[in-house]
Amino acid sequence: MSGRRKNGCLLPVIIIAAGVILLFRPWGREKEDFPEHQLIAPEADPEEDKAPEGGNKSPVDSVNIGIDANNTPASDSGSASDDGAVIPDAEKLEDLPEDLLKLYDKVPEARDFVLGCLEHQKAPDAGDIDLSDLDLDSVPALYQWDGRWGYAQYAGGLLGLTGCGPTCLSMAAIYLTGDTSLNPLYVADFATRNGYYFPGSGTAWTLFSEGAESLGVSSRELPLSKSVIDGCLTSGDIVALVLGPGDFTDSGHFILLTGISEGGYTILDPNSPANTEKIWSYDTLSGQIKNIWALSAG
C-alpha cells in the first residue's frame, strides 16, 4: 500500500515537468532560427563615420566660392567642393551684408575681397604698404577694395566700400608728386584725422578742396563746363568729379578724369575696372556731376 502511494505521488510531478518542457521548447527553437547578427543592432561602419575628405571644416576654411584655381571668378552656379559637389555661392555669402553682396555681384574683380571679409582679414598699417613698383608714366589705377587696404575701417565702414574719395586722391597724389607712400590707406587715415569724412556716409568734399594741399596737390574748383574741363586736361591736370546717382552709383561717388580721347574722356573709377576701361562722353557725365576740381602738383 505504501509503494502504490509513493508511485502515485511521482506521476503528477513527471506530468508537470513534461508540460514545462513542452511549453518552453518551441520558443527556444524560434530564437535559434534567427542568425545572431540579425537579433542585434548592426555595428556602424567605421568608414561611414569618417568625415569626407575636406569636410567638417569651419565656415572660414570652406570659403572658396566664386574663385577657381586660377583666382578667376567662377560661374554663377557656384564652385566645386573637394569631392566635386557644386555649392551655390548664396550658401556661403548669405551672412554678408547687402553692400558686400552687391559688390560681389557687380564687380567680379572684387570677389576675392568680399570672400576675405568672411575670413575677417585685417589691413596692414599704411606704412607697410609698398607701391614702389607702380608705373608713374600715367595716373596709376588703384581700387578701393584692394586687399592691401580695403579691410581697414573708414567713415564707419570698410574702406573697400566707403573709400572712393581717398583712393581717388591717392591716385592723383602719387602721380603728381611721385610719392608712392600716399596710398589709399594713408589718405584715408589723413582724412580721418582731419575730419574730412562723414561717419556712415563717406568722404567730405573738403578732402579735395582743402585737404589735398597737405598732400602736395594743388586743387581748384571748376564750373560745369566742357571747355574748362578739356582745357585743364590738355594742360596736364587731373580732374576729380563727385557724381550723384546714375551710371556709377546709387548715392555718391568720386572718379578721376585723366585725359581726352576720341568720343570722350578716359577715367579712373576706384570701384570698377569695367568703368575704367570705357570712354565716357561729356554728355553722359554732365548730368551726374555734383562738383569738380582740377588737381595739379602743388
Cα–Cα nearest to 215, from 233, 253, 189: 189
CATH number for the domain harbouring residue 227: 3.90.70.10
Give pLDDT, residue 89. Answer: 59
Closest CA to 96 of 149, 164, 158: 158
Range of the domain at 272: 126-297
Last residue of a domain, one of 92, 118, 144: 118
Report how far residue 251's alpha carbon sits from residue 198's, in angstroms, rounded to the nearest whole number.
14
Residue 22 placed within a domain: no
Nearest to 176 by CA among 272, 297, 291, 3: 297
94 shares its domain with 201: no
pLDDT in tens, the chain (298 residues): 444 444 445 544 444 444 444 444 444 333 333 232 222 233 334 333 333 333 322 222 222 222 222 333 333 334 444 444 333 356 777 888 999 999 999 999 999 999 999 887 787 899 999 999 999 999 999 999 999 999 999 999 999 999 999 999 999 999 999 999 999 999 999 999 999 999 988 999 999 999 999 999 999 999 999 999 999 999 999 999 999 999 999 999 999 999 999 999 999 999 999 999 999 999 999 999 999 999 999 8
Select from 100, 118, 136 the last residue of a domain. Answer: 118
- Taking only the tens place, the pLDDT of each residue in 134-169 is 999 999 999 999 999 999 999 999 999 999 999 999
Quick one: 251 and 168 in the same domain?
yes
Judgement on whether residues 131 and 263 belong to the same structural domain of the protein: yes
Quick one: 145 and 248 in the same domain?
Answer: yes
Say if residue 171 is in the same domain as residue 268.
yes
The verdict on 209 and 229 lying in the same domain is yes
**What's the total number of domains in the chain?**
2
Residue 17 lies in a domain: no
Whether 239 and 96 map to the same domain: the answer is no
Residue in this structure with the C-alpha cell 568734399, named with its chain if needed: 205
Are both 74 and 220 inside the same structural domain? Answer: no
